[in-house]
Structure 1
Amino acid sequence: MCLQDLDEIVDSFLREVRQIDGYLPPTSVVTDDDLGATALASLELLIRLVGGLPIPERLEGISTDVGQRRARQNVPLESVLRGVRMDFRILWPAMLRRVPPEVLPGFTEEAVRIWEAVEYHVIRVHAGYLDESAVMAQERQHERGRLVGRLLSSNGEDTQLLSQTARALGVRSDSAFQVALAPADNARRFRAAAEDANALRSLHEREDLLLLIAELPRTQDLQSPRWLHDVPCIVAPIARTLAEVPRAYAIAREILAAFESGIDETVTLRGAWGRIAARRMGDVGDALAREVLDNVSANEGKRLAETLWVYFETGSVTTSAELLYCHRNTVINRLSRFHQLTGFDPNKPVDAAMIQMALQHRQNVQHDR
């Protein structure tokens, strides 16, 4: 009898479900036709399950289909399940009205069969929704990766690409961004630190690297996130807009290339510029290294180079002596000795820059060998 009056029962369901916030237009994309067709198929399935009637092939996957469709339509899961469980409130009174009084007591004892049928439907709707949500998440992740890849290989001037990437990442294209890289050896630690900082969404996999593109707070004083300085990674100069991210990424890759043996601390452009410059000098670097260092013997050169690096880093004879565990006069004597052997004075900024380039180039060459 319920199957014969199915249209009437569906109308009752539609009147009820329209009361669920966020389920129907204008706040939802689910149309009346869509909702009506789904309700018709779902209620017929439930009636057949309760009555032990044959299930047509067209109804076999309806529960899963409902969950998948509502997920695609971005209907909140809570609203979907409330709507599905409402089937019991619709079917139970509909059946009671069609049961003769003399068999009503026996029929009420079978109410559990209606609830079991509804739960059967709910479980499969729920599973379909979750499965489709997972598929959608993978699709979004794939699309994010595709757009990020296009952005990084661009010159940052394609406004449409910038807009699409910003939407996919959930950021503003005119925000500032911190770009950072972690090679494979440091990826696990980098990911754990990003998770602790609630920055997992800003991570992207690029070949064998983990790439961070983190939107920074809109403040006048732009600073790198503090957590980045606690893990081994390459921290690029801050990109002032999304359009500058490709340039920041290219700089980060070049910094990383200068540390072929790996990194064990946070590396910035400030700390890596010498290595990068020396790598770019080529034959000029060979000539500079010979001009500055050829008059220093190998045995003496190692001790002098160590002192020079510490002195250039600290700018202080006293601090250098403390770090080298020697007397400050020893540092002064070594700097003078280098000046005497080479003619380049470590205390003169121009000479100091040339000495650093020569030392860095010689170090790079020795490492490559």
Structure 2
Amino acid sequence: MERIIEEIREDLSRRITVAADRLADRTLAEDPAYAALFGRAELRERIRRGLRQSVEGLERGIRGLPVELADARAAGTLLAEQGLPLDSLLRTCRRGGRMVWQTLGEAVAAHDPAALPRLLPAAPVLWDVLDQLTDAVADAYRRTQAARSDRDREHRAALLDALLDGAGPPQGPAARLGLPERGRFAVVVLAASASGGPGGPDGPDGPPEADGLRVLWRIRADGETGLVELGHHPLESVREMLGPLGARAGVSPVVDTPADLAGARRLAALALRAAPAPGGPCTALLDERLPAALVASQAELAGRLRQVVLGPVLALPAEDRRVLLTTLGTWLTCQGSTTYAAQRLYCHRNTVSNRLRRLEQLTGRTLSDPAHVVELALAHAAVLQRVNAPATSSAPQAPPSPPSPPAGPTPAGTARRSPRPPG
């Protein structure tokens, strides 16, 4: 077989050139990806080199020598950098392999038809060579594409950091990320999981997106931050998007320009700090948690608020403290309804009234005074935030407030402004 190839070498080279012309024309006609990248002369030369590599590989294989794969790897790397789809590349490789076998048979038949049976043992050698060349091209392509994806991901992360951290003018990063100069944007901050990793599912693209929302995720060790382009969708759609994640999240208000995103990120982080206690999925929109966010934003004043307003309660034995703070939190959650609070606490309405009256005596505040109710509500929020903070503390702890009361009219006899029963 080696002698036959040597005898037909000149004719085979000419036929390979003709085959490269045919394959180049077919590829340009059927594959827009190639047509967008190459002219006919350049593509024909690339295909001709590939076909010749296959023939040279066959010769080496027949002699028991390893196939030279350096040129195939270089071709795979270059085509990946140029952006040719891998499917297009592999399809052309397969067509080229079939053409090499067909051309080899034609050259042998033209030289000596009686020698054609002697060509058959070369078939498995050629297919093995073609597999090696194709694998080398594909492996180099995938490695290059992975490295390119890493670079693109790092570049996008740097652009997102510039926007979300407010580092420099926002116009350049926003334009490179495809964000409009004006629109409707929000920022989402997810809490880190208990294991210290991001709160959402693993993956290079971050958590899933809702229909119609474009989200750019920035994954860090302490959690994940998402830049949401809302379009015409309401802010509530962000809550629907985050629901399947099962993670605690804070959501900023809507902002109009990329220049406002750094501030929105700070507000989203504040909303997360103001979110209800851990233990279940919760997405906190800042505008729904403003009192708690106000407390969270002023740690020093929150400490004074806890001590000045609820200090006598916090000084009680643990069980007494827990009962009074739970009752206060439930009464606040139930919008000042002693009846609803009693239902939530599984006790009599008079028991709730007695507990709240004792709380009034300890704090010097009355629940019939709106100003005092505001102080107590904020101080209670400060206690909960201290309890729910990640860092441990020796301060007395209180349980989180129960869920919101059921919708419906206030029952007759419910005390809205004061826990005292009517005389």
TM range (shorter): 0.7 to 0.9
Residue 112 of structure 2, aligned match among 93, 98, 101 = 101
Equivalent position of 1:228 in the other structure: 242
What percentage of residue pairs aligned between the two structures are identical?
A: 19
1:44 paired to 2:52: yes
Range 94-103 or range 277-286, more displaced: 277-286
Equivalent position of 2:219 in the other structure: 205
Instruction: Give the Å deviation of 1:198.
Output: 5.8
Tell me how far apart the structure 1 counterparts of residues 303 and 105 of structure 2 sit (CA, whole Å).
96
Is the 8 Å Cα contact of residues 273 and 296 (structure 2) preserved in structure 1?
no
Range 174-183 or range 142-151, more displaced: 174-183
Instruction: Give the Å deviation of 1:191.
Output: 0.9
Q: Secondary structure at the match of 1:235?
A: strand
Equivalent position of 1:134 in the other structure: 146
Equivalent position of 2:22 in the other structure: 12
Equivalent position of 1:72 in the other structure: 81
1:356 paired to 2:377: yes
Tell me how far apart the structure 2 counterparts of residues 285 and 221 of structure 1 sit (CA, whole Å).
29
Is the 8 Å Cα contact of residues 183 and 231 (structure 2) preserved in structure 1?
no
Is the 8 Å Cα contact of residues 175 and 240 (structure 1) preserved in structure 2?
yes
Tell me how far apart the structure 1 counterparts of residues 270 and 334 of structure 2 sit (CA, whole Å).
26
Instruction: Give the Å deviation of 1:3.
Output: 6.1
Residue identity in the other structure for 1:326: C
Q: Secondary structure at the match of 1:191?
A: coil
1:313 paired to 2:333: yes
Tell me how far apart the structure 2 counterparts of residues 163 and 197 of structure 1 sit (CA, whole Å).
23
Instruction: Give the Å deviation of 1:331.
Output: 2.0
TM-score, scaled to structure 1: 0.79
Q: Secondary structure at the match of 1:352?
A: helix
Tell me how far apart the structure 1 counterparts of residues 184 and 40 of structure 2 sit (CA, whole Å).
41
Post-superposition Cα deviations, 1:322-367, rounded to whole Å, max 9, x if no partner, equal 1222211222333334334544222433221111233444566786
Tell me how far apart the structure 2 counterparts of residues 273 and 23 of structure 1 sit (CA, whole Å).
53
Is the 8 Å Cα contact of residues 19 and 103 (structure 2) preserved in structure 1?
yes
Equivalent position of 2:294 in the other structure: 277
Is the 8 Å Cα contact of residues 67 and 124 (structure 1) preserved in structure 2?
yes
Q: Secondary structure at the match of 1:183?
A: coil
**Structure 2 segments unaligned to the other structure (5+ residues):** 1-8, 395-423
Shift in alpha-carbon separation, 1:4–1:281, aligned structure 2, 3 A: closer
Post-superposition Cα deviations, 1:62-97, rounded to whole Å, max 9, x if no partner, equal 212222222222222222112112223433443344
Instruction: Give the Å deviation of 1:215.
Output: 4.2
1:331 paired to 2:348: no
**Structure 1 segments unaligned to the other structure (5+ residues):** none
Range 29-38 or range 191-200, more displaced: 191-200
Higher helix residue share:
1
Range 305-314 or range 4-13, more displaced: 4-13
Tell me how far apart the structure 1 counterparts of residues 77 and 31 of structure 2 sit (CA, whole Å).
20
TM-score, scaled to structure 2: 0.70
Q: Secondary structure at the match of 2:329?
A: helix
